[in-house]
Amino acid sequence: MSRLFGTDGVRGVANRDLTPELALRLAFAAAHELVEERGSASGRPLAVVGRDTRPSGELLEAAVAAGLLAAGVDVELLGVTPTPAVAHAVTTSGVDLGVMISASHNPMPDNGIKFFARGGVKLADETEARIESRLDDEWDRPTGAGVGRLLDAAAERRRAAYVDHIVASLPTRLDGLRVVVDCANGAATTCAPDAYRAAGAEVVVINDDVTGYRINDACGATHPEVVAEAVLAEGADAGLAHDGDADRCVAVDRDGRLVDGDQILAVLALGLKDRGALARDTVVATVMSNLGFKKAMAQHGVRVADTAVGDRYVLERMRADGLSLGGEQSGHVILLDHATTGDGVLTGLHLLARMAETGRGLAELASVVTRLPQVLVNVRVADKDAAMARLSELTAAVEADLGDDGRVLVRPSGTEPLIRVMVEAGTEERARSVAEALATAVR
């Protein structure tokens, strides 16, 4: 069987690839791996389960709950709630694991399952592999009083505690700022508007349909042009766009220009550095972060630690090195002093707070990063290892030619027979020319 877990949990077309039978087995195996083997934090094991607005979420929620209950774990169903709110709930005393049912920014027919271990952290590769290996194991099943119970609904209390927590993390209030918030017709609808308003901002909400049929549909973080149009129409100071499960955030300034995850990370890094709160004057970013971001950080005395693509790898590096800030170009940002995973609403709050405390517009703050044109080409290959070997020498020669004004990143896809070729250069024409030359060599 091919590996089920990808970069961020298990994903597929709901009820075809990701079936309720598979969801039940995953939950049952995860309960034994994460709870039975390590013991419960408070005697009776307790799990929290959240989902985004997708219609298939209800189906998979029932299956996941059944798997946990069958393993003797009590369950609180949080309903539609952001991924970081699930992670926050697992940091609460007495909660042993969390499950989020979401395919993040993927289209509506897809869904996914991701797990949070005690402390609110995503699982290491080794833990995911053990869960996969145990899917068909047989255990003695509890009976009678040993069977798990569905506890009284705590969804509103958990969400309110999450909102209170992230608003309390701000260094200043947001009074006087007018912001448009694109909820991507997803889980952000339950928390994001409340959080921004509680912090003092005037909020205009768009794409807050909770039926789930339009989640991520031409809206949210993958379509920032939508929030940009609304910002111009509303005369707002900024726009924030979340994805389906609200763990990412991209922004636009008052003129509708995109502020991506690299720029957001830079703004937050310099704000923390000014307050003496940027641990070791270092920020963690993935290999996909723009070279312009790295140059900007170097100019301001901030070191950049690179990781593989995926916010859990960012978190692993942060925890290993005792760092406080990391993120991805896509808008996953981790503020480890306040959260254990990427949190789009927390990110949006702190970005607005930086505007409020400096009195500077988002365009001015984001201008610290001059992004180099970046071109990404996916090349389908029969043998990824052979293709990578062929590209190794070519890549070294191209990088030497680009010098300090560009870079090349070549990496195999983890799930498809593709080689991903990314080139940054001083002009888009130059970047595209180099990328296509490398792609042609592979083909």
pLDDT at 386: 84
Rg (CA), the chain: 22
Taking the C-alpha atoms of residue 218 and residue 107, their distance in angstroms, rounded to an integer, is: 10
| 45-74 pLDDT tens trace | 999 999 999 999 999 999 999 999 999 999
pLDDT at 418: 85
Q: Give pTM, 2 decimals.
A: 0.91
Which of 44, 57, 78 has its CA nearest to residue 157?
78
Helices (H), 235-277: 261-274
pLDDT at 39: 52
The residues with which 374 forms a beta bridge, in sequence order, are: 424
pLDDT at 2: 59
Q: How far is CA 442 from CA 380, 384, 411, in A?
A: 9, 10, 12
> 104, 289, 324, 330: which is the annotated catalytic residue?
104
Identical fold, 5-157 and 169-366: yes
Q: Which residue has the higher pLDDT, 206 or 385?
A: 206
Q: What is the mean pLDDT of residues 227-254?
A: 98
Q: What is the mean pLDDT of residues 147-156?
A: 89
Sign of the C-alpha dihedral, residues 89, 95, 101, 102? Answer: positive
Which of 91, 117, 113, 116 has its CA nearest to residue 104?
113
| 62-116 pLDDT tens trace | 999 999 999 999 999 999 999 999 999 999 878 999 999 999 999 999 999 999 9
Q: In terms of CATH, what superfamily is 5-157?
A: Alpha-D-Glucose-1,6-Bisphosphate, subunit A, domain 3 (3.40.120.10)
Task: Provide CATH code, domain 374-442.
Answer: 3.30.310.50
Give me the residue spans of the domains in the chain: 5-157, 169-366, 374-442
Q: What is the mean pLDDT of residues 240-268?
A: 98
Could you tell me the pLDDT band of residue 1, with boundaries at 50, 70 and 90? very low
392 is catalytic: no
Helices (H), 302-370: 311-321, 344-358, 362-366
Is 278's pLDDT higher than 90? yes
pLDDT at 398: 85
Helices (H), 169-284: 192-198, 224-234, 261-274
What integer best gives the mean pLDDT of the chain? 93
Task: Provide CATH code, domain 169-366.
Answer: 3.40.120.10
Is 37's pLDDT higher than 70? no
β strands within 163-298, DSSP E: 178-182, 202-206, 238-242, 249-253, 258-259, 282-286
Per-state percent for the chain, helix, strand, coil, to nearest 5:
40, 20, 35
Q: What is the mean pLDDT of residues 227-233?
A: 98
